Amino acid sequence: MMRQYELVERVARYNPDCDEALLNRAYVYAMQKHGAQTRASGDPYFSHPLEVAAILTDMRLDDATIAVALLHDTIEDTDATRTEIDQLFGHRIGELVDGLTKIKRLDFATKRAKQAENFRKLLLAVAEDVRVLLVKLADRLHNMRTLHFVKQEKRGRVAEETMEIYAPLAGRMGMHDVREELERLAFKTLNPEAHEAISERLDDLRIRNADLISDIESDLTRRLAERGIDAKVIGRQKQPYSIFRKMQRKSVAFEQLSDIYGFRVIVDSVDNCYLALGLIHSTWPAVPGRYKDYISTPKQNDYRSVHTTVVGPSRQRVELQIRTREMDQIAEYGIAAHALYRDGMPGNGTMADLSRESRSYAWLRRTIESLSEGDSSVDFLENTKLELFHDQVFCFTPKGRLIALPVGATPIDFAYAVHTDIGNACMGCKINGYPMPLRTKLKNGDEVEIQTEEGHVPPAAWEALAVTGKARAAIRRAARDAARRQFEAVGRHLLEHALHVMDGAPSDDDMELALSRLGQKSLVDFYIALGRGELPIEDAVRAVVPGAEYSPSNGAQPGDGWFGLATAEGMVFKVPDHSEDYGGKTLPIRGLSGNLPVKFAPNGGALPGDRIVGILSPGEGITIYPIQSSALAEFDDRADLWLDVRWDETGLSGVRFPAQVVVTIVNKPGALAQIAQVVGENRGNIDNIKMTRRSTDFHEMLVDLEVFDVKHLNRIIEQIRAKDVVSDVHRVIS
């Protein structure tokens, strides 16, 4: 275990003016408080905060952060109090220790809703001072290093939590070495067979290519020196988890990977970065499409480097990263290396103040700001995870503004990154001057022009196309708002029609009393409840006009029969445009009267089980839409056209209805047959299949189905989704 003077010496090496008295007080206080406590390994418990402090000294952090590391478990695990720590070490250190105590009580790997809420609390604690996150990451790193001493049933939970939360968060903060070690240790616990198999392959490769790395290091160092470039060349094999993830992402075997080796070239200036790049490309053939310049366009976590891949001396692909020494410090320690020490000496500002200069902390602040957008904790966790796990592409607006997005992002993500209002109004786009579909995946350097239309409402289906959490959350909010407006319009029309039949004209006071009687908070909520069918129209009329007895003008009551043409059996509605499709059977829909033609909205219209709405088109008849259809937005201001209709499901036996789903499948033999088998086994029917997007790895197709109702469709979708060859499947409603 590290001695007191050894810890002080470690800090003094990079900060000769460190506060030795503070470090000594924190060391002695923590050791006394933890006393005879032991860890699962049998070691004294104090060895843990001491190791956490040692990890942070490797990051060259300030005295206060080292002291916090020593004290971070005292309030939680000993009789120490916040008041006592404030008195001995100051209010700021007390705040940091208290913040870490609250985070320690969080349990991320519990039920999803609780995990999500705890994640929000973590980020809110970090928002106060980023040192909370740095100490927590060091704490988790040491716990992962000693995870083999923990009970077997707990290891998987801790490793999963590390892989899902802490490793990607370290990456987002630019702390790549910490992220890699966390991933390696978690991967070894979660998938020991794969870890062992890949490690064995790497060991075998290392033996067979024993001299390759050293030969390239010495050859490249010599060539750079001949050009007057002082460089340090470091070579290594990739980590097992990195290789495993690439094998899964590209669906390839280990033998098919060609870039197992990576080299880091560290020089003394930005100019020499590009000189070294020219020398490397003139020495070995460059692999097309594998050049990335993160110096001119840094990543959002402040990572800067030039990446290239060449075919090395043994015809082996070799990845190279070229950067300055300062860039290497930031690449290794991320936000911990940012502006804290200038010329090897501590800056005047606090860690919290200086860290705000970094782009990674700016991302964290933007993420925390989204907490106020009103999304649920589960949605927030899901969207933040999406952004944590993605690398980036860099695109430009027509005016030259740089927009950083996750890999796989579409123009929809781009529009919302510019501004939420731009995203909501987006109708189309041009990429590099050419009109392109909104589903197009953006590439580095693309110039994207968003075409907007005032009053446009983003379709709910866009959520499946978006990659960023910001875009997905905004689309969900817009869809919820649009659905509320539609329900409000339906409810308003229903009440107006009912009161018109009764020649009623309620006053404002009457409406206020009605809201009170029905327990509704506002008039809008009242109309929405009517539109959703949660509040019967008869109850609403009685509340507005006490003592009134309402019945529809045609004298028919719900449940009397099928509405439309008068027959001996009741009122039956035929659908001329689709009668042949359904074997001449009638389509039972309640709520319609008169001899008007009826049709369904095209392209995956309504199914029995959907909440449906009828829209009256003068001279054309009535069109039936599911309530979630984005096409209803154009009728928002025409409440007079809305008809409240519903299915009479007692008359639907054996009738199939059209539905559309989009399926993304792995490009491999037999994949389509598995989809067809699921549909057939569930008594569905495939009417048409259209390939909408092809790639080397995946195909996307639009499938026209015939199903009995929503439950039938959902059952088919769930069984398709369960197939290994299926990446995604969702229903399409125009």
Contact call for residues 130 and 361 (beta carbons, < 8 A): yes
- Spatial CB neighbours of 426, under 8 Å, sequence gap ≥ 6: 411, 412, 415, 438, 450, 451, 452, 456, 458
What's phi and psi for 250, nearest 5 deg? Answer: -100, 0
Measured distance CA(440)–CA(495) in Å, rounded: 45
Residue owning tokens 């445009």: 577
In this structure, what DSSP letter does residue 398 have? Answer: T
Q: Cα Rg for the chain, rounded, in angstroms?
A: 32
CA 178 to chain centre: 22
Measured distance CA(144)–CA(618) in Å, rounded: 69
CA distances, 318 to each of 212, 222, 236, 295, 666 (Å): 11, 18, 10, 20, 29
Q: Which tokens hold the place of 121?
A: 């609390």
Contact call for residues 64 and 131 (beta carbons, < 8 A): yes
CA distances, 311 to each of 471, 528, 612 (Å): 39, 64, 61
Q: Pairing relation of β-strands 685-694 and 698-707? A: antiparallel
Measured distance CA(539)–CA(545) in Å, rounded: 10
CA distances, 179 to each of 98, 213, 223, 315 (Å): 25, 24, 33, 31
Residue type for position 699? H
Measured distance CA(45)–CA(37) in Å, rounded: 5
In this structure, what DSSP letter does residue 576 have? Answer: G
Nearest to 686 by CA among 669, 709, 703, 708: 703
Measured distance CA(608)–CA(597) in Å, rounded: 19
Q: Can 447 be counted among the known catalytic residues?
A: no
Give me the catalytic one of 76, 180, 259, 373. Answer: 76
Contact call for residues 725 and 674 (beta carbons, < 8 A): yes
Give me the catalytic one of 77, 95, 117, 539. Answer: 77
Residue owning tokens 């200038």: 342
Q: Which tokens hold the place of 263?
A: 């080299």
Beta strands in 455-600 (DSSP E): 565-567, 570-572, 589-590, 598-600
Q: Can 79 be counted among the known catalytic residues?
A: no
CA dihedral of residues 364, 367, 371, 373 (deg, nearest 10): 150
Residues annotated catalytic, as ranges: 76-77
